[in-house]
Amino acid sequence: MTRTFKRGFLLIAGSLFCFALAAQPKFDGGMMVHTGYLAATLPAKNHEASGMPFGIGGTMRFHVGSLLRVGGEGFITTLSLMDNGSYVRIGWGGVVAELRWRLGCWHPFFGCTLGGGSATTLLMFDGSTGDWDAEPDVVMHSESFMLADPHIGLEYALTERIHLTSRLSYLTPLKRVDVPTGPRVFLGFVFAH
């Protein structure tokens, strides 16, 4: 009786496991790092802020049918300036909707994120390199904004559940703000469940 029970249990558990592996994913999520080129003229002394930012973030999307993915995502990016600790740091997130096609192992997609973000700018014009030294000419500014982040991308399915993903996006504030904008390139992994 015990041997029959074990075999039955293993058969049922194995069947469920295989069914779970074969089922289409219902949602996915993952992390991406990014860089690109950002530029803006900041009001503080008409400072030209430009360069390559670096950042990280993540996404989680629910699959609706075979083409549509809807979910949320959030990222943070930092643009270092003037080689003295000055920076512009932008954090943003929102609701994302994407259309994705399956072409073998390749999955091209496009979509848009609508949401909000905030930017913090710290500019040290006479920056001291010493700790605890007073900075004579510093500007710090923070502001929040609504945004759209249209993007196109391509995923490569390493397995049905693990995808290498890349995308190109352009963060677009929906009102005039003093935030550097420009294209960003993302690279990361997405895990489907």
Domains of the chain: 26-192 (2.40.160.20)
Give the pLDDT mean for 55-84.
Answer: 94
Looking at the predicted structure, is the pLDDT value of residue 51 above 90?
yes
Q: Is the C-alpha dihedral spanning 151, 152, 158, 159 positive or negative? A: positive
d(CA 171, CA 100): 20
Q: What is the largest CA-CA distance in the chain?
A: 84
pTM: 0.81
Rounded Cα distance between 180 and 153, Å, is 22
CB under 8 Å to 23, separation ≥6 — which residues?
none
Instruction: Assess contact for 179 and 147: CB atoms under 8 A.
Output: no
Q: For 112-162, how does the pLDDT look when each residue is reduced to its tens digit (9 = 90+)?
A: 999 999 999 999 887 666 667 777 788 899 999 999 999 999 999 999 999
At 4, list the tokens. Answer: 């029959």
Nearest to 157 by CA among 113, 93, 90, 106: 106
C-alpha distances (whole Å) from 191 to each of 106, 110, 146, 161, 169 are 15, 18, 29, 6, 21
